[in-house]
Structure formats: structure tokens, C-alpha cells
Amino acid sequence: MKLYIDSANIESISWLNEYYPIAGVTTNPSILVKEEKPYLEVLKEIRSIIGNDKELFVQALGDKAEEILDEARFITNELSGNLIVKVPVTEEGIKAIKLLTAENIPSLATTVYTAFQALIAAKSGAKYVAPYVNRIDNLSGNGGLVVKEISELFTAYGLSCEILAASFKNLQQVHDVCLAGAEAVTVAPDIIESMVAFPSTASDVVDFKRQWVNAFGENRTNL
Ligand code: E4P
């Protein structure tokens, strides 16, 4: 499972990149707007934190395929390193994914709500598809089931496109899609931190330390 940070917050990204096995950072227009800073400045800062090898995802806004392609060329020139262009799975988006693939610009098909959208995007050359798990759940759908169906279709048709599941509101949803076959997940900082934090672990650590100090004082094991 590859783990991505779904945020453009510089402090959170620095912290999580230092402590967690992070594969990259995903952004979208709403995420970048939240930072209230020029978006290119933010993206360049993220790049300097994560380095050139980790993937940075930036979403195109154009309505027409050719506009999306222009944006992709622009952002690829502006930002160094491993960049993936996010393209919504509209009809124009699918055409754009085909054009990007022809230019060897890697893409992620985003705003995926159905397994068939994912299938068409993968057939068009998308490197990743991003099913919107929580938004599907909010529509009385089942985000985990959509991920499972996409995974089964990709296996059945021998497609190398990876599922990068997105839009989570809790850790249970992340857990479910990992079991359903997602190769990758992009998760907000607070949910990433909840992957490790557990009250029993914290109290066990306190107990071990207390017992050791009672027996041997403050001396460490010097391992
Ligand atoms: C990925 O970057 C997606 O755009 C994001 O996970 C959507 O999440 P939301 O449904 O919480 O806005």
C-alpha cells in the first residue's frame, strides 16, 4: 500500500514526510485554495520538502481536453520532479488522458464514482484512478465496494492502472479500501496520524518505562 498526504499544508507535510512512509502528496483546487497563498509557491515548497522522486499530484481545471493538456504542459515545466496530472473523469477528461498518455505525461483520473469510469480511464492510459470513497458513501453508495469492483475489473482485463483511493473521513474507510484491493490511498494529515496513535500502545509504553526506572533507575539499555 502506498500512502499519500492529501493536503497542501506545508507544516503538516514536513512533519508527516519526516515520520511516515510517504509516497507523495496529492492536491486538488479546494486543498490549494485553503492555503491562501499563490498556488505555484505552495507547490514548489511541497516539492522542496518531498524531493524530486516522490510523486506530486496537481489537478487541471480546463473544461476542454486541449485546455487540460496546456495546463499539464505548463505545470510540468514549472515543477521539477515526479509530477502526476489529475484529470476529472468527464468526457473531455478522458480525451485529455489519451492526449497526455500520447505525450508521456502521467495522469490520475479523479472524481471517480463508478467502476466503469475507472475502467474507461484505465483503458485511456491513466496511471492511477481515484475513487472518491467518502463522497460515494455520502450518496448512499458503498465506496469500499466500488474499489473492490475496480480492482476486479483491472485484474480481469490485465490493466496496470493503480487504484489510489481518495476522499476519506475516517480510518475505517481507509482500512476497508486497503482490504478491497486499493494499491494506494491519499489521506488527510489527521487521519494519517490516527493510523498509529492508539491509547493502549501509549499506556503500555508508559508501563514499560515505569517498571524499568523502578528497577534500574534512569539508565537506558544502551542498545
Ligand atoms: C484527492 O486529492 C481528492 O481530491 C480528495 O481526497 C477529495 O477529498 P474530499 O472528498 O474530502 O474533498
Mean pLDDT of all residues in 80-108: 98
CATH number where 133 lies: 3.20.20.70
Confidence label for 220 from pLDDT (cuts 50, 70 and 90) = confident
Q: Which of 32, 167, 168, 185 to mutate to test the pocket of ligand 1 (most atoms within 8 A of CB)?
A: 167
Q: Which helix (H) or strand (E) holds 56?
A: strand 55-59
Confidence label for 10 from pLDDT (cuts 50, 70 and 90) = very high
**Domain for residue 64, yes or no?**
yes
pLDDT at 222: 66
Whether 2 is a known active-site residue: answer no
Q: Which pTM was predicted?
A: 0.96
Mean pLDDT of all residues in 192-205: 96
pLDDT at 219: 77
- pLDDT exceeds 80 at position 136: yes
Q: What percent of the chain has pLDDT over 70?
A: 99
Residue nearest to atom 1 of ligand 1 (CA): 166
* Residues 207, 132: Cα–Cα separation, whole Å: 41
* Residues 9, 13: Cα–Cα separation, whole Å: 6
The answer to whether the Cα torsion of 32, 72, 86, 24 is positive or negative is negative
Confidence label for 189 from pLDDT (cuts 50, 70 and 90) = very high
pLDDT at 223: 58
Mean pLDDT of all residues in 70-88: 97
Please state the domain count of the chain: 1
Structural domain boundaries, residue 162: 2-197
Burial class (CB in 10 A: 0-12, 13-18, 19+), 21: exposed
Q: Which of 31, 35, 187 to mutate to test the pocket of ligand 1 (most atoms within 8 A of CB)?
A: 31
Q: Phi and psi for 157 in degrees, rounded to 5?
A: -100, 10
**Domain for residue 212, yes or no?**
no
**Domain for residue 105, yes or no?**
yes
130: left (phi over 0), alpha (psi -120 to 50) or beta: beta
**Domain for residue 209, yes or no?**
no
Q: Which of 54, 86, 127, 148 is catalytic?
A: 86
